[in-house]
Amino acid sequence: MMRLEDLLAELEYSIICGDTDDAIVTDVVMDTRKLKPGCLFVCITGANFDGHTFATEAVSKGAAVLITEKDVTVPEDSDTVIVRVEDTRKALAYISSAWFDHPAEKLTTIGVTGTKGKTTTTYLIKHMLENAGHKVGLVGTIETIIGDEHIPAENTTPESLILQGYFADMVKAGIDSVVMEVSSQALMLHRTDGFIFDYGVFTNISPDHIGKNEHKDFDDYLHCKSLLFSQCRTGLLNGDDKHLKDILKNSTCETETFGLSEECDLRADNIKLVNGGSYLGVSFDTKGLMDDAFRCDMPGRFTVYNALCAIAVSRHFNVSAEDMNKALQSAKVKGRIEMIPLSPDYTLMIDYAHNAMALESLLSTLKEYEPGRLVTLFGCGGNRAKDRRFEMGEVSGRLSDLTIITSDNPRFEKPEDILDDIETGIKKTGGEYIRIADRKEAIAYAIHNAKKGDVIVLAGKGHEDYQEIEGVKHPMDERVLIDEIMHE
């Protein structure tokens, strides 16, 4: 329980009705299903609902306090305290921080924003810091990690109430640092308000998440990304990104840059592709703030940026180059160019690439390694835009030596109909392909017909461990399928 005045201490507000002097709050909620006597209910205006319309229900269920940003109707005889603020989402962040006793102040906080590379970079940072003896929590697209507990993610960045709860659990678990993905939506919706990040990280930016219920245009998307750098003490940014000045336009933090150009404070030089048979990677030297040699067992130029980003953060924790290298050569990110070592004769990997842009970037990178054959296995989700199917088919047909079309999440469509659409795209290219609707059979075909020097990509599912068919999510993890295939 907490005094209402303590929860509101960092907010500007007005009291519409009721008395705050002796008000005690038993819980903080934003979900009407969790209403209980004595709680503080924050009325959030969302894309598909408005918490203000549940004000009467909240009062009837015993809410002690309502936090509002517009007028609400409640029974005249109610003794519920109604507090008016300018923005209830922002208020929720500050109230949540106070409710959990400001846990972020007891952690070293690292926030990573950008269009690409957030997930991989956060895992690399986590592994580097852990190699140096830190206990590190993680919040991101795939999961939240608190010690040995792995919590599947619903959003890249959770709502502030959930996020602050995670921070509090991390403090209880003896964790000293947390690295997290910070989405543009989270910054726009104030999910990371209520505390200051020790380090803010910018990977890159390109048009994404633009449309209904997201960002109205690229300028809005860019602006939201830039908000992190007025909410952190030190900013570590990709100095090669052409939008760097825009990202820093309203920044209040100290800054460092990383990248490949001479102007960057930490830069990569002498970049080489590494083909280890069962894995593909890169090696490079660092110049500027660090002069060392590194190797990362993930392929591509973008991997150099992800690695540089993690190095830029970790040097602030006095992590040695040796410990950084250990992380770069051992860290696995589930479903992000995840190498599955089956044979020294060919390379097998799982990746989340599930649209044409991501698939083209991945396949173009892999072709630089001059594989004997580039074999791409993928499907497309049902009840989604058909254009994605045509586009992915065309990309794979153009860049792959062999495409294996299979099922992804058919949802309420027939898998064969989805395969027909993908095939339409491939036929524009004349690329070689085969159709195998059952994903396990398709993977088995790829493995059993692998040739020396092949690079085989299982694309689209990534970290997902299910297949959605007619509204039901059936267990299906490609790692499990591969293991079954190898033992059958």
Give the integer Cα–Cα distance in Å for 91 and 9.
Answer: 11
DSSP 126: H
Q: At what angle do helices 439-448 and 478-487 cross, to 10 degrees?
A: 60
Give the integer Cα–Cα distance in Å for 75 and 225.
Answer: 42
Indicate the residue among 284, 300, 330 that finishes a domain.
330
Q: What is the pLDDT of residue 279?
A: 87
Task: Supply the CATH number for residue 417's domain.
Answer: 3.90.190.20
Task: Supply the CATH number for residue 135's domain.
Answer: 3.40.1190.10
Q: Both 407 and 438 in a single domain?
A: yes
Task: Supply the CATH number for residue 74's domain.
Answer: 3.40.1390.10
Q: Residue 384: which of 418, 358, 360, 359 has the closest Cα?
A: 418
The C-alpha R_g of the chain, in whole angstroms, comes to: 25
Give the integer Cα–Cα distance in Å for 187 and 161.
Answer: 14
Triad 354, 418, 432: Cα angle to 5°:
75
Q: Both 285 and 157 in a single domain?
A: yes
Q: Both 93 and 111 in a single domain?
A: no
Q: Both 153 and 257 in a single domain?
A: yes
Q: Does pTM surpass 0.85?
A: yes
Q: What is the pLDDT of residue 251?
A: 95
Task: Residue count of the chain, please give it.
Answer: 488
| Beta-strand pair 177-181/136-139 | parallel
DSSP conformation letters of 155-172: SSS--HHHHHHHHHHHHH
Give the integer Cα–Cα distance in Å for 460 and 59.
Answer: 46
Q: Both 80 and 213 in a single domain?
A: no
Indicate the residue among 99, 129, 164 that finishes a domain.
99
Give the integer Cα–Cα distance in Å for 252 and 231.
Answer: 8
Give the integer Cα–Cα distance in Å for 233 and 254.
Answer: 6
Q: Residue 229: which of 176, 265, 184 has the closest Cα?
A: 184
Q: Both 307 and 363 in a single domain?
A: no
Q: Both 195 and 308 in a single domain?
A: yes
Give the integer Cα–Cα distance in Å for 427 and 316.
Answer: 51
pLDDT tens for each residue of 116-147: 899 999 999 999 999 999 999 999 999 999 99
* Contact assessment for residue 310 and residue 327, using Cβ atoms and an 8 Å cutoff: yes
Q: Cα(first)–Cα(last) distance of the chain, in Å? A: 57
**Amino acid identity at 17:** C
Backbone angles phi, psi at 211, to 5 degrees: 155, -170
Indicate the residue among 304, 330, 356 that finishes a domain.
330
Q: Both 125 and 274 in a single domain?
A: yes
Q: Both 238 and 150 in a single domain?
A: yes
Neighbours of 429 (CB within 10 A): 17
Q: Both 48 and 22 in a single domain?
A: yes
Q: Both 67 and 212 in a single domain?
A: no
Q: At what angle do helices 301-314 and 118-131 cross, to 10 degrees?
A: 40
Range of the domain at 75: 2-99
Q: Residue 130: which of 407, 308, 324, 274 has the closest Cα?
A: 324
pLDDT tens for each residue of 385-422: 899 999 999 999 999 999 999 999 999 999 999 999 99
Q: Which two tokens stand for residue 110?
A: 């690292």
Give the integer Cα–Cα distance in Å for 197 and 109.
Answer: 5
Residues in the chain where the model's pLDDT stays below 50: none
Q: Which two tokens stand for residue 38?
A: 């004595």
Q: What domain count does the chain have?
A: 3
Q: Both 18 and 142 in a single domain?
A: no
